[in-house]
Amino acid sequence: MITCTTCTCYGLSLSQKPFAFLVCRLFRRRPERGSSLHRPSRRQSERHCQCQALRAELEAKEHHRVPVVNSEGWDTWVPKYLERHCESPLTLERYNTNWKWLSLWLQTQRFHSPRAITYRNALEYVDWRTTFKKKSGKTVGRNTAIMELKLFAMIMGEAVRLGHADANPLVSLKLRRDKSPKKPELTDKEISQIREALKEEPEWMQVAFDIALHTGCRLRETRLPMNCIDFKENKITFPAPKGGEDRAFSVPMPSALRPLFERLRKTKQKFTLEFPFQPSRRWQQFFIKIKKPHLCFHCLRVTYVNRLRRAGVPREAAMRLVNHSSELIHQVYQREKVEDVAQWRDAVQFPE
pLDDT of residue 53: 63
Last residue within a domain, chosen from 162, 196, 225: 162
**Residue 299: is its pLDDT beyond 80?**
yes
Taking residues 13-32, report their average pLDDT: 41
For residue 264, what are the domain limits? 188-342
Q: Which range, 50-64, 81-95, 234-248, 262-276, has the best average confidence (pLDDT)?
A: 262-276
- Is the per-residue pLDDT at 331 higher than 70? no
pLDDT, tens digit, for every residue of 203-248?
999 999 999 999 999 999 999 999 999 999 999 999 888 777 777 8
Classified as helix, coil or strand, 294 is coil
Same domain? For 214 and 293 the reply is yes
Residue 180 lies in a domain: no
Q: How many domains does the chain have?
A: 3
Q: Per residue in 100-143, pLDDT tens?
A: 999 999 999 999 889 999 999 888 999 999 999 888 788 888 99
Assess whether 78 and 60 both reside in one domain: no
- Please write the tens of the pLDDT for every residue from 177-193: 887 778 889 999 999 99
Helix (H) or strand (E) holding 237: strand 235-238
Evaluate whether residue 227 is within a structural domain: yes
Last residue of a domain, one of 127, 162, 197: 162
Confidence category of residue 48, pLDDT binned at 50, 70, 90 = low
H or E stretch covering 300 = helix 299-310
Task: Give the pLDDT score at 3.
Answer: 43
In-domain check, residue 168: no
Say if 24 falls within a structural domain: yes
Instruction: Provide CB contacts within 8 A for 99, sequence distance 6+.
Output: 78, 79, 82, 151, 155
> Looking at the predicted structure, is the pLDDT value of residue 26 above 80?
no
Could you tell me the CA-to-CA distances from 17 to 1, 62, 110 in Å, in that order?
11, 11, 13
Same domain, 231 and 323: yes
Asked if residue 193 and residue 325 are part of one domain, the reply reads yes
Phi then psi dihedrals of residue 249, to 5 deg: -150, 165
**pTM to 2 decimals?**
0.62
Q: What CATH code is carried by the domain that includes residue 299?
A: 1.10.443.10
pLDDT digits (tens, 9 = 90+) for 304-326: 988 888 888 888 888 888 887 65
Residue 314 lies in a domain: yes
Clarify whether residues 55 and 85 are in a common domain.
no
Whole-angstrom Cα distance, residue 111 to residue 158? 17
If asked whether residues 102 and 218 sit together in one domain, one would say: no
Are 94 and 198 within one domain? no
Last residue of one domain, picked from the residues 162, 180, 208 = 162
Give the relative orientation of helices 119-131 and 89-109 as an angle to the nearest 10 degrees: 100
For residue 175, is it within any domain?
A: no
Residue 163 has pLDDT above 50, yes or no: yes
Q: Are 91 and 82 in contact (CB under 8 A)?
A: no
